[in-house]
Structure 1
Amino acid sequence: MKYILWTLMLFFASSLRGQDKVQFPLLKKKIDSLAFIDIKTGWDVRNGKPTERDSLRKIVKETFLRNAEVLKKIFDEHGFPNYDKVGKESSKNFWLCVQHSDHDLKFQQEVLKEMKKEVKHKKADPSNFAFLTDRVNINLNRAQVYGTQLSYDEQKRAFPKNLKNPKKVNQRRNSIGLEPLEDYLEFATMAHRQMNPDK
């Protein structure tokens, strides 16, 4: 519990940095609030009692649905919230919430299209763009490009879902600032096993 509170405190503190240097400080606060709730509900599921997880997952789903409606209004009014508009942390927070909006694939695709332009101008995070690219591809039943979307086998080892040309995945990951796939899978496996210990 202390770790969760510490994580949330760090998140809140980082979201306040550079607040006076952005074009839309109120928008920044709104995005940070959405992400804070997104992260907290996720932690509640991971750390909740097994008997409570179904009801907690329902809360997560409702949170994602509610957040998405606000995100769409933000996107319609401001486009993709890039570094200039809301700062790096809040731009990442917007991406995070869009990443969790799987129920609205059309919206994810629209954001991805605009985010690509911002990445080219170095006003959005290329690694976040890679994650959303893969998320959209998986949601469209297509092969992912960067191997960011994972499943787990019976030994709780992580492996990438439906990966395009696996032999060249590390070249693609390197081009966008991601670590080698092997390192990513090792970390994901360790984290998954810690969150899902054997009974």
Structure 2
Amino acid sequence: MFATSSPPPSGPWAGAARTEPQPRAPLRTDLLDTLMRLHREGVAARETRRLVPDAIEHRDLIRWEQRAARELRSMFDEVGWPGLDVVGEVGAEAAWWCVLLCDRLTAFQRDAHGLLQDAGERQAAPARHLAYLDDRLLMHHGEPQQFGTQHQLFADGCVEPYPVDNPALVAERRRSIGLPPTACRTAALRLLSLTRGPPLDDHR
């Protein structure tokens, strides 16, 4: 089984919903450049030849996660969460995307979650970013998600939503943070897929 995130509602650089802060011009273009490079490398690692990655492609995914986590930790130490006020809208999206997909480094994701939460409170990150990461961490712990952002990609290429806590409330939860009703774009979900192997929390 493979773990995926449903893509943001209107493409990878989706704009603000009604609850999201206004985008700002990036102040740290050096950090923006780093984030965009990590994003490009992450996408390249996921553009596998098959519906699911083979052993070599899987190795490349792990190497990217470790490299991305190291560089992001250094960035966190310097500026905290690289949000809208630091790297602009595109940079903030790239930072969130990279953290979300470092699935074997769950301790890193938990640390990043706290920084992202702080950024959201000061309107430096969209509410949906935290919702996606909340659901991702719940999935890693085998618990049902809250916002319906996560999907499972199976070895045969089938994509299914990860179980949700109290599904009758999902639409209201999503609406409360500006997310539209759930939708599954299979091609985009497969691009975000990662094997849910053992955590590598000792690698930084």
Superposition TM-score tier, normalisation by shorter sequence: 0.7 to 0.9
Q: CA contact under 8 A between 2:151 and 2:159: conserved in structure 1?
A: no
Q: How much has 1:92 moved relative to structure 2?
A: 0.9
Q: CA contact under 8 A between 1:156 and 1:192: conserved in structure 2?
A: no
Q: 1:70 — aligned with what?
A: 71
RMSD: 2.7
The aligned length equals 167
Taking CA–CA contacts closer than 8 Å with sequence separation of 6 or more, which of the two structures ends up with the larger relative contact order?
2
The letter of the residue matching 1:137 is L
Q: 2:35 — aligned with what?
A: 31
Q: 1:158 — aligned with what?
A: 160
The letter of the residue matching 1:98 is V
What is the TM-score normalised by the length of structure 1? 0.74
In 1: Cα distance, 2:159 partner to 2:34 partner? 37
Q: Percent identity?
A: 24
Structure number with bigger Rg: 1
Three-state SS of the structure 2 residue aligned to 1:87 is helix
Q: CA contact under 8 A between 1:83 and 1:91: conserved in structure 2?
A: yes
Higher mean displacement: 84-93 or 143-152: 143-152
Q: Deviations over 1:153-192 (max 9, x none)?
A: 7793522x231111000100111122212xx13x34x766
Three-state SS of the structure 1 residue aligned to 2:54 is helix
In 1: Cα distance, 2:157 partner to 2:91 partner? 36
**Any residues of structure 2 matched to 1:128-139 within 5 Å, and which?**
128-139=129-140
Q: Deviations over 1:37-86 (max 9, x none)?
A: 0111112x1xx268x83312221221111111111111122110010101
1:22 and 2:26 matched: yes
Which has the larger share of helix?
1
Unaligned runs of 5+ in 1: 1-10, 12-19, 194-199
Q: CA contact under 8 A between 1:112 and 1:132: conserved in structure 2?
A: yes
The letter of the residue matching 1:31 is L
Q: 1:106 — aligned with what?
A: 107
Q: 1:175 — aligned with what?
A: 176
The letter of the residue matching 2:43 is I
